[in-house]
């Protein structure tokens, strides 16, 4: 039997307040929405849950607030079988929250209020060093201070641990610091903000990825929603197609992609194989409502993978 992948996430945990509606209120207007869903989210936490559902052992390093959501978030990690001894409560601040608006096509608009995520510091990474040193892969996003992201990349590098950076939400990083990561995985809007190059097609993504490589990054993966993803290195570029699905809520699909990609890679698949599988895993997550609760189990994934004859 293959060795169980070990993944750690140093990242955010939020509570998602998801509203489903056809239209959005104008200034001063009150309207009725169609549906509401409350669930655990945050790009870091979502990637941890996706990796766990895909079969990895997972540890989370995060900060939550001293409010109703903080202890509930820790409990959620524990109930999913995620090591949460380094998910600490920051006194006097709120847990990160994300009001999310989903339109009838399943597309989302997300507002993140970072709260306790802002308090995750390099000292928290040092405190978790014994756990972090034992993993194959560390996942990072941009919902925590960038200083902590850079510090963790350096840590991963010094220990020879694979490091995947998801620059979400988009902020201009110090490219010299993130270039030490093994994979840099933005979506279209993030890639666009980081390069100033529009990404509305695979061809535009190719230009954008080439530009990102000039900044010293070694492997860039641009996720392109229903157009799949693009892998770019200095040796060449490869487009990976998406799978046909009927989306109802795309919230967290990018996180499902990255969390599952980390596991498939750690299981020894090539970049292309791991990206193809991650593409189906993310696609399947969009066919259900909610963030973490929409992520398939490994069993569900394998069943669908087989059914699609891949």
Binding-site member from 80, 291, 301, 304 for ligand RIB (CB under 6 A): 291
- Return the number of the residue (267 or 279) whose C-beta is nearest ligand RIB: 279
- Return the number of the residue (42 or 186) whose C-beta is nearest ligand RIB: 42
Site membership for ligand RIB, residue 252 (CB under 6 A): yes
Position of minimal CB gap to ligand RIB: 41
Q: How far is the CB of 303 from ligand RIB (least distance, A)?
A: 25
67 is catalytic: no
Q: Interface with ligand RIB by CB under 6 A: which range of 2-10, 11-19, 53-61, 147-155? A: 11-19
| 141-160 residues near ligand RIB, rule: CB under 6 A | 143
CA distances from 70 to 36, 91, 124, 237, 299 (A): 21, 10, 17, 42, 30
Q: How far is the CB of 16 from ligand RIB (least distance, A)?
A: 5
Q: How far is the CB of 49 from ligand RIB (least distance, A)?
A: 10
- Return the number of the residue (103 or 273) whose C-beta is nearest ligand RIB: 103
> Catalytic: which of 37, 124, 249, 255?
255
- Return the number of the residue (9 or 213) whose C-beta is nearest ligand RIB: 9
Cα angle at 119 between 126 and 162, to 5 degrees?
45
Binding-site member from 55, 115, 186, 254 for ligand RIB (CB under 6 A): 254
Q: How far is the CB of 119 from ligand RIB (least distance, A)?
A: 16
Q: Interface with ligand RIB by CB under 6 A: which range of 53-61, 64-72, 246-254, 265-273? A: 246-254
The DSSP-derived string for the chain is -PPPPEEEEE---EEEEEEE-SS-PPTT-----SEEEEEEE-HHHHHHHHHHHTT-EEEEEEEEESSTHHHHHHHHHHHTT-EEEEEEEETTSPPEEEEEEE-TTS-EEE--B-GGGGG--HHHHHHTHHHHTT-SEEEEESSS-HHHHHHHHHHHHHHT-EEEEE--S-----HHHHTTSSEE--BHHHHHHHHS---SSHHHHHHHHHHHHTTT-S-EEEE-GGG-EEEEETTEEEEEPPPP---S--TTHHHHHHHHHHHHHHTT--HHHHHHHHHHHHHHHTTSSSSGGGPPPHHHHHHHHHHTT-
Number of residues forming the site for ligand RIB (CB under 6 A): 16
Site membership for ligand RIB, residue 255 (CB under 6 A): yes
What CA–CA distance (Å, rounded) separates 206 from 226? 16
Binding-site member from 5, 6, 11, 41 for ligand RIB (CB under 6 A): 41
- Return the number of the residue (182 or 255) whose C-beta is nearest ligand RIB: 255
Site membership for ligand RIB, residue 228 (CB under 6 A): no
Site membership for ligand RIB, residue 16 (CB under 6 A): yes
> Any idea which residues carry the catalytic annotation?
255
**Chain positions contacting ligand RIB, by CB under 6 A:** 12, 14, 16, 41-43, 46, 98, 110, 112, 143, 251-252, 254-255, 291
């Amino acid at each position: 039997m293959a060795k169980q992948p070990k993944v750690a996430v140093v990242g955010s945990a939020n509570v998602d307040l998801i509203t489903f509606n056809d239209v959005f209120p104008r200034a001063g207007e009150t309207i009725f929405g169609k549906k509401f869903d409350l669930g655990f989210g945050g790009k870091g936490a979502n990637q941890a849950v996706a990796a766990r559902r895909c079969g990895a052992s997972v540890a989370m390093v995060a900060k939550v607030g001293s409010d109703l959501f903080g202890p509930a978030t820790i409990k959620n990690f524990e109930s999913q079988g995620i090591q949460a001894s380094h998910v600490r409560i920051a006194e006097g601040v709120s847990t990160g929250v994300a009001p999310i608006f989903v339109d009838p096509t399943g597309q989302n608009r997300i507002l993140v209020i970072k709260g306790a995520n802002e308090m995750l510091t390099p000292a928290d990474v040092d405190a978790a060093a014994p756990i972090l040193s034992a993993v194959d892969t560390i996942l990072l996003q941009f919902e925590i201070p960038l200083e902590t992201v850079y510090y963790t990349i350096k840590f991963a590098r010094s220990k020879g641990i694979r490091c995947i950076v998801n620059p979400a939400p988009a902020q201009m990083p110090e490219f010299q610091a993130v270039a030490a990561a093994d994979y840099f995985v933005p979506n279209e809007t993030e890639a666009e903000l980081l390069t100033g190059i529009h990404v509305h097609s695979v061809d535009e993504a190719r230009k954008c990825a080439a530009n990102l490589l000039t900044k010293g990054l070694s492997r860039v993966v641009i996720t392109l929603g229903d157009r799949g993803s693009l892998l770019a290195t200095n040796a060449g570029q490869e487009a990976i197609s998406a799978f046909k699905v009927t989306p109802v809520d795309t919230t967290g699909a990018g996180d499902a992609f990255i969390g599952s990609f980390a596991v498939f890679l750690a299981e020894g698949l090539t970049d292309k194989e791991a990206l193809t599988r991650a593409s189906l895993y993310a696609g399947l997550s969009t066919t259900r409502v909610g963030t973490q609760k929409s992520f398939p189990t490994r069993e569900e994934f394998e069943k669908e993978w087989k059914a699609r004859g891949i």
